[in-house]
Amino acid sequence: MSTVGKTALSENTLFGMGNPLLDISAVVDKDFLDKFGLKLNDQILADNNHKALFEEIVKRNKVEYHAGGSTQNSVKIAQWMIQEPHKVATFFGCIGTDNFGEILKKKAEEAHVDAHYYEQNEEPTGTCAACITGDNRSLVANLAAANCYKKEKHLDLDSNWELVKKAKVYYIAGFFLTVSPESILKVAKHASDNNKIFCMNLSAPFISQFFKEPLMKVMPYVDILFGNETEAATFAKELGFETDDIAEIAKKTQNLPKENTKRQRLVVFTQGKDDTVATVGEKVTMFPVLDIDQNDIVDTNGAGDAFVGGFLSALVQEQALEECIRAGHYSANVIIRRVGCTFPEKPDFQ
């Protein structure tokens, strides 16, 4: 395996852990959103009021099923961008012993991700209803099995922890804070103690609002923090930053307390079609995204995950920040032209 000008990669260099979900994706109208009290571009956890939503969405005429879950999407995209060797990306999460679980296993294998699921039979495999309206998407996650991940039953097992130790870059979406903050802390501390790179994502406004305590417990170990403009604004509000200027928010976030002082925290905020904002040393830099015709956008579900996946693929190859962002912009641009977080056979990225 020769890789020109890039660090040669070995298996399990990138580690991801999160909520493996099967996306149930359908085009809906405003009435459907209103009926279930959904916002145009939001991510929420399902409660009892959403039971009927899941029953109704599967009856839509053009419903599609895709492997999803934010972290799983990102590590898949990273592996797709890398192509070879296979299994550079590892993924941990919890599924049910059912048909949806089998689909997720098969899809992970097809994507050449080294997935090690904790399988239990008390809860069914988690699903996420992706309600698509034009170029907006509203996501409702029914975590089910994904919520049953247990540190002592899976992460702590020697064979699994060995895989964690093999990695150099770690990525966990903020969504997993609702499931197993103790698992996140164990991985984050390992990364920090060994001067490896631990990345996290703000993931959704509700994480900063309702899971601020576990989020802030992990923050000192976060080397790279991702988020979009809405999540950044909510985070700033929850932390009393008293600014809605995104560059200022990035700077203040960068300066939050940090355990491993050998690495300065890097903060990267995407803003849809507007420039991506990143802290570069002491300053904040704007990186324009790739132009795309509005008519070419099929759905934005997975765009943020894809950005992170592209970014991580360059990061594990020890590329410069500009390159990581360029790779992220490329993969996000590919994903928004397709339904769900799906991709063509090979990337066309030079």
Tokens 């916002």: give the residue. 39
For residue 322, give the nearest of 254, 291, 276, 283 by alpha carbon: 276
**Distance in angstroms (rounded) separating the CA atoms of residues 26 and 163:** 36
Give the Cα separation of 208 and 243 in Å (integer).
Answer: 16
Task: Provide CB contacts within 8 A for 320, sequence distance 6+.
Answer: none
**CB-count exposure of residue 80 (10 Å: 0-12, 13-18, 19+):** buried
249 phi and psi angles, rounded to 5 deg: -65, -45
> Residue 144 corresponds to which tokens in the numbers above?
């089910």
Would strands 21-27 and 126-133 be described as parallel, antiparallel, or unpaired? parallel
Beta strands in the chain (DSSP E): 14-17, 21-27, 43-45, 64-68, 89-96, 114-120, 126-133, 136-142, 169-173, 197-201, 224-228, 266-271, 274-280, 283-287
Among the options 23, 135, 299, 305, which is catalytic? 305
* Chain mean position to CA 161: 21
Tell me how far apart the alpha carbons of residues 108 and 122 are, in angstroms, rounded to a whole number: 22
Residues of the chain by 3-state class (helix, strand, coil), percent to 5: 40, 25, 35
Q: Are 332 and 306 in contact (CB under 8 A)?
A: yes
Sign of CA dihedral 67, 73, 75, 76: positive
Q: Is 305 a catalytic residue?
A: yes
State the catalytic residues: 305
